[in-house]
Structure 1
Amino acid sequence: MVHPAAHDAEFACQMEQVLEVYARPYDARYPVVCMDEQPKQLIDEVREPVVAPDGTVREDFEYARRGVCVACMFVEPLAGWRTVAVSERRTAVDWAQHIKEVVDAPCYRQAERITLVCDNLNTHRLASLYEAFAPDEALRLARKLDLLHTPKHGSWLNMAEPELSALTRQCLDQRIGECGRVADACQGLGRDTQ
Structure 2
Amino acid sequence: MSRKQHVVELSAEDRNTLDWFVSTGTRKAEDITRARILLKADEGLTDAQICEHLGCSIGTPYRTRKAFTERGLAAIHRRKPDREYDRKLDGDAEARLIKLACSDPPEGHARWTLHLLADELVTLDEIDFESVSHETVRQRLKKNTLKPHLYDYWAIPAEDEGQFAYHMEDVLDLYHEPYDQNRPVICFDETSKALRGHKRDPLPARPGAVARIDTHYERNGKQNLHLATEPLTGWVTVAITEKRKTADWIDRMVELADEHYPDANCIRVVLDNLNTHNPAAFYRYFPPDIAHAYLERFEFHYTPKHGSWLNMAEIEIGVLKRQCLNRRIYHAATLRSEVAAWQKQRNAADGLIDWQFTTDDARTKLRRLYPVPLTEN
Fold conserved between structures, TM > 0.5 = yes
Contact persistence 2:156–2:306 (CA under 8 A):
no
Larger Rg: 2
Q: CA deviation at 1:66?
A: 0.8
Give the stretch that moved more between structures: 136-145 or 13-22. 136-145
CA pair 59-144 structure 1, distance change in 2 beyond 3 A: same
1:114 to 256, 260, 267: 267
Partner of 1:76: 230
Which residue number corresponds to residue 62 of structure 1?
216
Structure 1: tracts of 5 or more residues without a match: none
How far apart are residue 49 of structure 1 and its match? 2.8
Match of 2:314 among 161, 171, 175: 161
Match of 1:37 among 167, 184, 190: 190
Q: What is the CA RMSD across the aligned residues, in angstroms?
A: 2.0
Aligned match of 2:304: 151
Higher helix share: 2
Q: Are 2:126 and 1:126 equivalent residues in the alignment?
A: no
Partner residue in 2 for 1:89: 243
Deviation at 1:44, TM superposition (A): 1.7
Cα distance, 1:114 vs structure 2: 0.3
Residue 90 to residue 64, structure 1, CA distance change in 2 (3 Å): same
**Unpaired segments ≥5 residues, structure 2:** 1-154, 349-377
Compute the displacement of 1:134 (Å).
4.2
> Number of paired residues?
191
SS at match of 1:171: helix
Q: Which residue of 1 aligns with 2:81?
A: none
* More contact order relative to length (CA 8 Å, sep ≥ 6): 1
Q: What is the Cα deviation at residue 17 of structure 1?
A: 0.5
**Greater strand share, structure number:** 1
User: Contact 1:31–1:111 at 8 Å: present in 2 too?
Assistant: yes
For residue 94 of structure 1, what is the amino acid of its counterpart? D
Higher mean alpha-carbon deviation, 11-20 vs 129-138, is at 129-138
Q: SS of the counterpart of 1:181? A: helix
Normalization by structure 2: what TM-score? 0.48
Counterpart CA distance in 2 for 1:165 and 1:63 is 24
CA drift of 1:144 comes to 1.4
- Cα distance in 2 for partners of 1:82, 1:125 equals 22
Q: Structure 1 51/129 Cα, relative in aligned 2: closer, same or farther at 3 Å?
A: same
Inter-partner Cα distance in structure 2 for 1:100 and 1:192? 21
Identify which of 329, 333, 336 aligns with 1:176.
329
